[in-house]
A and B are shown apart, each in its own frame.
Chain A
Amino acid sequence: MKTETKTDKSIEIDREESNFHFDVDYKHDAGRGLDEETIDFISNVKKEDQWIREFRQRALKVFNKKEMPTHWASKDLNSINFDEIRYYLSAGEAPKRSWEDVPDEMKETFERLGIPEKERKFLAGVEAQFDSEAAYSNVKDAVSEQGVIFVNSSEGLAEHADIFKKWFGKVIPTGDNKFSALNSAVFSGGSFIYVPPGVKVKHPLQAYFRINAEQFGQFERTLIIVDEGAELTYMEGCTAPKFETNTLHSAVVELVAMKNAKIQYITVQNWSANVFNLVTKRGLAHEGAEVRWIDCNIGSRLTMKYPGVIMKGEGARGEVISIALANDGQHQDTGAKMIHAADNTSSNVVSKSISVGEGRSTYRGHVHIPKHLKGCKNNTECDALLINSKSRTDTYPAVTVRGNQHSTQHEASVSQVSEEQIFYMKQRGLSEAEAMSLSVNGFVNDLVREFPMEYSVELKRLIDLEMEGSVG
């Protein structure tokens, strides 16, 4: 549309819901800046073994050595001041199994975000992280009786070292990129999940990541292992209050799907506009296994996230379904990475982005089918919707195919809501904004259906709120 208005006002209203914070008396505070001592501090608080201390220190060296990837990524990365960030903040208590035991400010935080209610309604287990550590972590008896382990990463390290150590850092090596190295050095919180062979967890497990403190960095580390023939759906939600200063969120998520296992990993993030969200996510799919990433990115100043699947076993499948909405001052730089490493593996990527006002969305894709394989397939579709005349979108896919027994297809398009559509809906009595919202929801509708019902309603609401004031 030709008309331009500022979208800020409506967004303020939207974010009010998660835009609050408490002054918490943190027992453990690693202070500002990052060096060997910061890491010792974290390891000491967590009473860690020598091997993990060494792992962290090595990672710090890798982080310091690696340059910012600004030769291809946004120069805005240079605005992160690593010396100003606080790398570890916690109340120093183990996560509670009951909401009643959770300290008041934290309990109120999660109640306002509706977490306990959702848990009662449809979740098999919940972990709620407040800054660096989980405040609450519980899994329903029926699920734990099946042998499912759902704890935070520290507990996973301490209590389940044999499984943890075997896969930790194997899907995403420390040196994968600068931010995976940073996470490897200072990680805290996140989930460790193990699902035993044949167990199909009926209801989703959920983690909720809340940033409360200012100038803080959240570095959760999630490792999920789903054993042979087992199935799991995991969901994560993320929010933070709005500050004048920058907040950093830099997670590493590793998924391992053993033979014929299925993992579905669903993310709905609604970060405030001061968050740098730089996340590395990758799954390893063994023979006949399936890894699906279903991702919705709303908010943040800069998100860089390219969920990947390494299809290591014959017949493995990988999928990335993603929705991104970039509003004024936001850059959603998202995509997918599909590495085919066995015969008859198939991958599918569907990405839809919406750029509003002066927002910018970027798709980066990487599909790799090496030599001497047969029967690999990739299908990639990315569609971008531009709402205003200053909205921007970019697409940078890279597809490598070796040999003649494979088939790949990549399609991308850019479009806008037509004036004819808007006129039609206005004739039926909808305001221009309502008509625009409906059209935008229609654009992402087929992907929204991939989210569980409770989330798709939330998603539609978020999109409506983001669209308010984008036309006028």
Chain B
Amino acid sequence: MSSLEIVNLHANINGTEILKGLNLNVPQGEVHAIMGPNGSGKSTLAKVMAGHEDYEVTGGDVLLNGKSLLEMEVDERSKAGLFLAFQYPAEIPGVSNANFLRAARQARLPEGEEIDAVAFYKEIYDKMDQLGMDRKFTGRSVNEGFSGGEKKRNEVLQMMMLEPAYAVLDETDSGLDIDALKIVAEGVNAMRSQDRGFLVITHYQRLLDYIVPDHVHVLNDGQIIRSGSKDLALELEEKGYDWLKEENLVKS
């Protein structure tokens, strides 16, 4: 059984507190969506989980299978099973997608064991077909000169190739037209299984029409202020974030 727990997480950037005691539990096999207005801390959460050094964790913990991620290096977190699909994927000139993914896969093998190149290419081509990606992409430099949609598909391709225990999708819908969105969502849905969890971070409800969540959480000012079923997303879409902000204000 794997599990992902975020416990009373506090984090700063340049001395400004962004996450202010965030609690979240994503059991294995479930898809959780985090929604929230701009500046609520959504992307910070993703970066903090992955271990970006610009962010300082000042309290709380993130536990994967009961083990704290916070003491781990960025790559160790990845190998432990955490995958982050970036909102703005980096461009890496001169490094081909295929070589990059091979290196990432190789990093997961025990020392002395080599990747089976033939099987690797077969697998990557199958998955690219599934995502409607041209096979020429394997030879192109990682994300260099890619359109917004191509970058996001590439993120999903990497997720499919690395088969994480938990995937965090940071605004994967931004910059995508509806056709690309469908393809990306299909890729994600194909990855849904009993032993994998998802945390889907999004500003708009639209993505959740295609990746249907088990639970929806609303993030505001660094805390989860409301959790509910997928219907919460629809309600939010209709009433706007201010509705919850006000309600939260009244409560506190």
Contact = CB atoms under 8 A, between A and B. Distances in A.
Interface in B149-200: 158, 162
A188 B73 CA distance: 55
Interface string A445-465: 110000000000000000000
A443 B74 contact: no
B13 interface: no
Nearest to B52: A423
Nearest to B105: A429
B141 A427 contact: no
B191 to A, nearest CB: 16
Nearest to B107: A429
Given A423-B53, A428-B158, A429-B162, A445 B107 contact: no
Contacts of B77: 427
A446 B83 CA distance: 30
Contacts of B94: 441-446
A418 B90 contact: yes
A441 B53 contact: no
Nearest to B161: A428
Given A423-B53, A431-B107, A439 B78 contact: no
Contact of B92 (A419, A434, A439, A446): A439
B75 interface: yes
A421 interface: yes
A429 B79 contact: yes
Interface string B84-114: 1010011011111001100110011000000
Contacts of A431: 73, 75, 107
B33 interface: no
A439 B93 CA distance: 8
A325 B163 CA distance: 36
A424 interface: yes
Contacts of B89: 424
A446 B162 CA distance: 27
B180 to A, nearest CB: 21
B162 A441 contact: no
Nearest to B99: A438
B108 A429 contact: yes
The SS class assigned to the A binding surface is helix
Nearest to B47: A423
B50 interface: yes
A442 B50 CA distance: 24
Contacts of A418: 90
A445 B74 CA distance: 26
Nearest to B94: A442
Contact of B74 (A423, A441, A446): A423
B99 A432 contact: no
A425 interface: yes
Contact of A425 (B93, B100, B162): B100
Contacts of B104: 425, 428-430
B86 A428 contact: no
Contacts of B95: 438-439, 441-442, 445
A21 interface: no
A429 B106 CA distance: 9
Contact of B86 (A419, A424, A426): A424
A187 B222 CA distance: 75
Contact of A429 (B51, B78, B93, B141): B78
Contacts of B96: 445
Nearest to A435: B75
Contacts of B90: 418, 420-421, 423-424
A432 B75 contact: yes
A426 B75 contact: yes
A43 B158 CA distance: 65
Contacts of A446: 94
A20 B121 CA distance: 39
A428 B162 contact: yes
B118 to A, nearest CB: 18
Given A427-B50, A427-B74, A427-B78, A442 B103 contact: no
Contacts of B158: 428
A424 B90 CA distance: 7
Contacts of B108: 429
A281 B108 CA distance: 46
A442 B103 CA distance: 13
Nearest to B104: A428
A426 B83 CA distance: 11
Contacts of B84: 427
A438 B73 CA distance: 18
Interface string B139-155: 00100000000000000
A200 to B, nearest CB: 29
A438 to B, nearest CB: 5
B78 A428 contact: yes
A421 B107 contact: no
Nearest to A437: B103
Nearest to B101: A428
B73 to A, nearest CB: 7
Contact of B100 (A423, A426, A438, A444): A438
A13 to B, nearest CB: 15
Residue among A419, A426, A429, A439 with max Cβ neighbours from chain B (10 Å): A429
A245 B55 CA distance: 49
Contacts of B75: 425-432, 435
Interface string A175-192: 000000000000000000
Contacts of A443: 93-94
A438 B99 CA distance: 9
Contact of B73 (A420, A426, A444): A426
A430 B86 contact: no
11 contacts: A425-B103, A426-B73, A426-B75, A427-B75, A427-B78, A427-B83, A430-B103, A431-B107, A438-B100, A438-B103, A442-B141
Given A419-B53, A442-B94, A443-B93, 17 more contacts: A420-B90, A423-B50, A423-B52, A423-B90, A424-B86, A425-B75, A426-B73, A426-B78, A427-B78, A429-B104, A431-B107, A438-B92, A438-B99, A439-B95, A442-B95, A443-B94, A445-B95
Query: 3 smallest A-B Cβ distances: which pairs?
Result: A442-B94, A442-B95, A426-B74
